[in-house]
Amino acid sequence: MTTMARRGVPERVAAAERFAAETGFTKSCTPEVGRLLRLAAAAKPDGVVAESGTGAGVGTAWLHSGLGAGARLVTAERDPVLARRTAGAFSDDARVRVLDGDWRLLERHAPFDVFFCDGGGKRDDPRRVVELLAPGGMLILDDFTPSPHWPPVFEGEVDELRLFYLTHPELDATEVLTTPDSAAVLAVRRG
Ligand SMILES: C[S@@+](CC[C@H](N)C(=O)[O-])C[C@H]1O[C@@H](n2cnc3c(N)ncnc32)[C@H](O)[C@@H]1O
């Protein structure tokens, strides 16, 4: 098996994308976000890397592509069919655990050196999301609509959720464009 299916796209990512297409799952992260995930995981080679919302396993596979030999990757998904597929896809790697259930199952693996919060937590318990970060731990939140305004605006209203993360006193945070029409919030918890 080749390690790269398309230029810069690891085979496990391509396999997860195929599964997503076959099952009609449309919420996978983009390759632009995926490269950000790989970079973040690679920056913490002995770290605990977490993901809430495994989905079809695309983001998991990107995180895995940057995972250091001493690192661990734990991802939680409440849809048992999706969780089972990704558990099977990574059954050959003892560094990876897929939790079948609510994102709060991740808590026992905290604190996190990287946290891709993508399904559970981001909207329903943002304070807890920040608490689960290790000092120096990086939080990644995608799927924002770029806003040229401050405070950020979404659909004509101040985006209070984005504002929470961007102004949290324990975080150094910024918003970056991942494509011309999508943005991610990157934040690091102060030591
Ligand atoms: C945006 S998709 C995840 C995409 C995936 N992280 C990726 O990058 O390819 C969100 C996923 O989160 C799952 N989800 C939503 N709420 C959840 C919760 N409270 N606990 C666990 N999973 C949840 C959904 O079932 C869905 O599969």
What local confidence, expressed as pLDDT, does residue 173 receive? 98
Q: Is 118 in the pocket of ligand 1 (CB under 6 A)?
A: yes
Q: Using alpha carbons, list the distances in angstroms from residue 187 to 44, 70, 103, 169.
A: 15, 23, 20, 11
**Residue 2 covered by a domain:** no
CATH of residue 95's domain is: 3.40.50.150
Per residue in 113-138, pLDDT (tens digit) is 999 999 999 999 999 999 999 999 99
Which two three-digit tokens encode residue 25? 């799952």
Cα-to-centroid distance, 43 and ligand 1 (Å):
24
Per residue in 5-15, pLDDT (tens digit) is 566 899 999 99
Per residue in 35-92, pLDDT (tens digit) is 999 999 999 999 999 999 999 999 999 999 999 999 999 999 999 999 999 999 999 9
Torsion angle in degrees (nearest 10) through CA of 125, 128, 129, 133 = 180
What length does the chain have?
A: 191
**Residue 39 covered by a domain:** yes
Q: Is 77 in the pocket of ligand 1 (CB under 6 A)?
A: yes
Cα-to-centroid distance, 120 and ligand 1 (Å):
7
Per residue in 160-176, pLDDT (tens digit) is 999 999 999 999 999 99
What local confidence, expressed as pLDDT, does residue 26 receive? 98
**Residue 137 covered by a domain:** yes
Residue 99 has pLDDT above 70, yes or no: yes
What's the total number of domains in the chain? Answer: 1
What local confidence, expressed as pLDDT, does residue 123 receive? 97
User: What is the atom index within ligand 1 of the atom nearest the CA of 101?
Assistant: 21
Cα-to-centroid distance, 36 and ligand 1 (Å):
18
User: What is the atom index within ligand 1 of the atom nearest the CA of 51?
Assistant: 6
Q: Using alpha carbons, list the distances in angstroms from residue 142 to 37, 50, 179, 185.
A: 10, 15, 11, 6
**Residue 161 covered by a domain:** yes
The residue segments making up the domain with residue 136 are: 9-189
**Residue 4 covered by a domain:** no
What local confidence, expressed as pLDDT, does residue 3 receive? 47
